[in-house]
Amino acid sequence: MPLRRFACPLLLSMAVFIATDVQAGEIWVTNEKDDTVSVIDADTLEVIETYETGERPRGITFSKDFSRLYICASDSDTVQVMDPNTGRILHDLPSGEDPEQFVLHPDDRHLYIANEDDAITTVVDTETRQVVAQIDVGIEPEGMAVSPDGKIAITTSETTNMAHWIDTDTKELFANTLVDSRPRHAEFVKDGTQMWVSSEIGGTITVFDVATQAEIAKISFEVDGVHPDRVQPVGFEFTNGDTHAFVALGPSNHVAVVNAETFEVEEYILVGRRVWHMAFNADRSRLFTTNGVSGDVTVIDVASRTPEKSIKVGRFPWGAAFRPKPE
Amino acid sequence: MFSLKLQTKVLLPPASLPATLLTGRKTVRVITALWMILICGPAWAVDLSVHYIRVETPTPPTLSNLDPIPDDLGLAGAQTALDDNNTTGKFLGQTYALDITELSPQDDVLGAARAALAETPFLILDAPSDVQLAIADLPEAQDALLFNVSAETPDLRSDACRGNMLHTAPSVSMRTDALAQFFVTRRWTDLAMIFGTYEDDRLFADAMRVSLQKFGISEPAEKEWAFDADMRRNAAQEVPLFTQDLGDYDALIVADEVDDFGRYIPFNTWQARPVAGTEGLTPKVWAPVVEQWGAAQLQSRFTEAHGRDMASKDYAAWAAVRTLGEAVTRTTAADAPTLRAFILSDAFELAGFKGRPLTYRGWNGQLRQPIPLVHSRALVASAPLEGFLHQRNELDTLGLDKPNSNCTAFED
C-alpha cells in the first residue's frame, strides 16, 4: 500500500513532465531591419539566441522535421537554408528577385516563393536546388498558401489586388479572383475547403469556397478609437480545429479574434505597434505576434485572449515560425 | 499588352536557369494570356485609353543648376501606372493605352485637347490652372473625366472647381497644412518666413499664412527675397545679414517654389534655427525617402523603368492612371459617367503606398492623401499627424474641408 501511494504521484509528476516536455518549443522571428533571426523560448518567454541572416529577412518556415529553416532574405535575392541547431547557413536556394513570402508544399520539397519586385511566383526544388517553374502573377506578389492536398497554390498580388490560383501539377494559373486592396496573406482552412485572404488597405478578409473559387464571406474589422483606415489586416493564424482566426491588424496595434463559423469578430487584443505576423506554440495555448514598429513580440494567452508579455527582439520583426525544442 | 512584357527582366543568372525553362516561361505566358482572353474576353473585355496633355511651363532662371528637371516628369509616373494597370488587366481581359501630347503655351492647346477628346474622355492634364480650366470648359469635355496632376491652386478646388475635373495633385494648402501640423506638434509656434517673388512662391506663402492661422499659430515675421546676386558665391555673406532683422524664432519658413534661392538658406541664417517649407523640412506628395507601406516596391519599379527617382508629379500622374485602372477593375465599365460616379463613391479606394486608402473628396474632386514631411535624407513625419482629429476622415484636416470649399459643381 505505501508503495502504491508513493508510485501514483510519481507517475503523475512524470506525466506532467512528459507533457511539458512535448510542449516545449521555440518561436523564430525574422528581424527585417537587423538582418537577424531571434529565437524565443516559448516557455520562459526569453530570447535565447540571435542568428545572422541575409539582408532584409521576412518570410520564415521550417521543413517538416524541423531540421532545416528556410528564410526569405529579400534584399539578398535568395532563400537561405539554415541549420536551426547551429544557426549556420547551409546553403542558398535560387529564389528569383526579392523573395518576400513563401510556402512549403506538403511534399516537404518544393517551395512556392512570391517575388515581390518581379510579379512572379517561383517554384524551387529544395533538394536539387533548381528552379522548377516561374509563373507570371500580378504586381507585388506577397501572400502564399498551398492546399493541404498540395494541389492548389495561391499567390496574392498587392497592387493587382487578386488571389491567383495555381495548379501545382501544371504550374499554371487556373483562376484569378479579385479581392480588396493590397492583399497580404492567404491560408487554406477547414481541410482545404476554404481559403482566406487578408486585404491590408481594403481592411477586410475575403473567404473563398475552394471548390468554386467563389467568395462566401467578407470579414470587416472595427477597433474602438482607431480610424478605420488604420485597421489593416495582415497575417492570421487559426486555433485548434480552425474554430477561430487570430488576425494581425497592422497599425491599429490590435489582433482580432474571428469566429471562423459565423465570421463575426469576437474580440480585439491590444499588442505592440504595427503587428505583422504570428505563430502559435505547440498546443496553441499561446500566440506570438511580431510588432514591426515597436520591435517586440507580444505573447497572447489564447484561452483568456489577453496579452501576457512583450519580448524585445531585433528591429522590425516580421515573420514568425514555431519549432519543438530539440532534445 | 504584350509589349509590356519586354520590360520584364530575366530573374536569375542565366547559368542557374536552364534554357528550356526560359522558353517554357514564354510559352506559358502566351498560353495563359490567350486562355484569359478566351475565357474572359466576351464578358469582361474592356479597352481604355488615356490621353496625357502636357503644356510646358517656362521655368524661370535659378541660381543653381544642380537639380535639372527631368524631361519625362509626370509622364514616367503615368507610364508606370499604365504598366501596373495592364498587368492586372491581363488577368481580366482589360487593356490600357496611353497617348501623349506635349505642347508649348503658344501652340493650339484647345485644338489639341479637342482632338484628344474625340478619341477618349479620359485626359491627364499637366498644365497651368488657367489652361486646365479652358480645357474643362470645352463643350467636348462636358462628359469627360479630367485629372489635374500639376496645378496646386486652391481656387481650382473651390470657386473655380469643375465637375469634370479631379485632382490627384494636392492643393498647396494640403502641403502647408501638413507643415503647420508639424509645427504645432513640435511647439514651434514662433516662426519667420522668407518668400520669393514668383507667383508660385506667393501662392505657397499665402497658403502657409492661412495654414498657420488654421492651426492657431501667430503670424510669422516676413521678408521678401528680392536679391538678384549669384548666391553660389556669396550666400555665406548675404544670408546672415538678410535674416538678422527677423529677430528670434523657432523655425524659418522658406517659400521658394521655383527652387531659386532656397538651397542657400540652411546653415547661413543669423540664428541657428531649422529651415522648413520648400527647403529643409518639406511637405511633398512623394519623395525618394518614402519607403514604408510598400512604397519601396513602387520606388524600385519606377527607378528600374525610368532610371531616376520618382517625384511628386510622377506620383500624381501615377495616381490618376491607377484611379482609372482601379475603377475599371471594380466596375468592368469604361465610360466616363460610370467611372466618375464610382470614383466619387464610398466603394472606391486606391492603395497608394501611403499607409491609408486614398479616396476622393465628394465636394471638390480632390484626392485625399497623406503628405510626407521629408528632408533629403529621411522621412520625418507623415501628415495628418497624430492628434489631429476629424469627424469624418483625418485626411480632411489637410486642405479645403467641405465647409471651406465654395465648390458646388459636384452637387449632383
- On the question of pLDDT at B44 being above 80, the answer is no
In a domain, B324, yes or no: yes
Give residues 230 to 269 of B whose Cβ lies within 8 Å of A.
Answer: none
Measure the CA–CA gap between A303 and B315, rounded to whole angstroms.
47
CB contact under 8 A, B349 and A201: yes
Instruction: Mark whether B342 and B233 lie in a shared domain.
Output: no
C-alpha grid cell for residue A29?
522571428
Q: How far is Cα A255 from Cα A278, in angstroms, rounded to an integer?
A: 10
Do the domain assignments include residue B410?
no
The domain in which residue B18 lies consists of 1-44
Distance (Å) from the alpha carbon of A100 to chain B's nearest alpha carbon = 11
How many CB pairs (< 8 A) connect A and B?
97
Phi/psi for B395 (5° steps) reads -65, -20
Same domain, B185 and B115: no
Residues B98, B232, single domain; the answer is: no
Packed helices B109-119 and B129-136: angle between N→C axes, nearest 10 degrees: 50
B411 within domain boundaries: no
- List, for residues A83-129, the tens digit of each pLDDT value: 999 999 999 999 988 899 999 999 999 999 999 888 999 999 999 99
Residue B14 has pLDDT above 50, yes or no: no
Region for B201 from its dihedrals, namely left if φ exceeds 0, alpha if ψ lies in -120 to 50, beta otherwise: alpha
Interchain pair B91, A138: CB under 8 A = yes
3-class state of residue A122 by DSSP? strand
pLDDT attached to residue B230: 60
Q: A226 — contact with chain B (CB < 8 Å)?
A: no
Per-residue model confidence (pLDDT) at position B57: 84
Residues 6+ apart with CB under 8 A from B159: B406, B407
pLDDT tens-digit readout, B354-363: 989 999 999 9
CATH code at position B205: 3.40.50.2300
| Candidates B21, B32, B351; nearest CB to A172 | B32
Is B368 found in the same domain as B300? yes
Average pLDDT over residues A59-70: 97
Can you tell me the mean pLDDT for B160-189? Answer: 98
Total domains, chain B: 3
- More confident: B113 or A97: B113
Alpha helix ranges (H) inside chain A: 2-23
Long-range contacts of A69-78 (CB under 8 A, 24+ apart): A69/A28, A69/A37, A69/A321, A69/A323, A70/A102, A70/A104, A70/A111, A70/A126, A71/A30, A71/A37, A72/A30, A72/A99, A72/A100, A72/A101, A72/A102, A72/A113, A72/A319, A73/A35, A73/A99, A74/A98, A74/A99, A74/A100, A74/A116, A78/A54
Answer whether A176 touches B (CB < 8 Å).
Answer: yes
Quick check: B19 pLDDT over 60?
no
Mean pLDDT, rounded, of chain B: 87
Residue B318's pLDDT is 98
Which tens digits make up the pLDDT trace of A268-303? 999 999 999 999 999 999 999 999 999 999 999 999
* CB contact at 8 A, A16 and A8: no
To probe the interface with B, which of A161, A201, A232 has the most B CB atoms within 10 Å? A201
Same structural domain for residues B348 and B202?
A: no
Residue B5: its pLDDT value, please? 28
Same domain, B159 and B58: yes
The sheet that has A265-270: what strands, in order across it?
A236-238, A244-248, A254-259, A265-270
Q: Which of A160, A162, A229 sits opposite B356 (nearest CB)?
A: A229
Asked whether residue B27 carries a pLDDT value surpassing 50, the answer given is: no
Categorize the per-residue pLDDT at B63 as very low, low, confident or very high, splitting at 50, 70 and 90.
Answer: confident
- Say how far apart CA A16 and CA A26 lie, in whole Å: 19
> Distance between CA A310 and CA A320 in Å, rounded?
15
In sequence order, which residues have a C-beta less than 8 Å from that of residue A11 and are 6 or more positions away? none
Mutation target for A interface from B297, B318, B321: give the one with most A CBs within 10 A.
Answer: B297
A122 inside 8 A of chain B by CB: yes
Question: What is the C-alpha to C-alpha distance for residues A186 and A100, in angstroms, rounded to an integer?
Answer: 14
Q: Say if residue A251's pLDDT is above 80.
A: yes
Range in A195-199, B141-145, B178-182, B237-241 the model is least confident about: B237-241
Residue A7 pLDDT exceeds 70: no
What is the per-residue pLDDT for B46? Answer: 87
Last residue of a domain, one of B283, B306, B340: B283
B84 contacts A139? CB cut-off 8 A: yes
Which of A75, A160, A199 to mutate against chain B (most B CBs within 10 Å)? A160
A131 neighbors B17 (Cβ within 8 angstroms): yes
User: At which residue does the C-alpha cell 508579455 appear?
Assistant: A309
By percentage, how much of chain B surpasses pLDDT 70?
A: 88
Domain termination site, one of B234, B267, B283: B283
For the cut 60, the answer to whether the pLDDT of residue B33 exceeds it is: no
- The helix (H) or strand (E) run that includes residue A59 is strand A57-62
Strand B191-195 to B221-224 pairing: parallel
B83/A157 Cα distance (integer angstroms): 15
For residues B184 and B139, membership in a common domain is answered with no
Q: Which residue from B minimizes the CA distance to A123?
A: B21
Instruction: Clarify whether residues B331 and B365 are in a common domain.
Output: yes
> What pLDDT digit, counting tens, does each position of A125-145 carry?
999 999 999 999 999 999 999
Contacts of B401 (CB under 8 A, 6+ apart): B390
Indicate whether B22 pLDDT > 60: no
Which residues in chain B are contacts of A133 at CB distance < 8 A? 21, 24
Structure confidence at residue A9 (pLDDT):
44
Domains along chain A with CATH numbers: 41-324 (2.130.10.10)
- Residue A225 banded pLDDT, cuts 50, 70, 90: confident
Tens digits of residue pLDDT in B196-207: 999 999 999 999
pLDDT in tens, A165-210: 999 999 999 999 999 999 999 999 999 999 999 999 999 999 999 9
Same domain, B363 and B277: no
Q: Please check whether residue B193 lies inside any domain of the structure.
A: yes
Higher pLDDT, B392 or A275: A275
Based on the fold, state whether residues B2 and B111 are members of the same structural domain: no
B403: preceding bond cis by omega (within 30 degrees): no
Q: Do B330 and B225 lie in a common domain?
A: no
Q: What are phi and psi of A175, to 5 degrees?
A: -160, 155
The answer to whether residue B69 is domain-embedded is: yes
3-state SS assignment for residue A216: strand
Q: In terms of domains, do B214 and B312 share one? A: no
Per-residue pLDDT, B38:
38
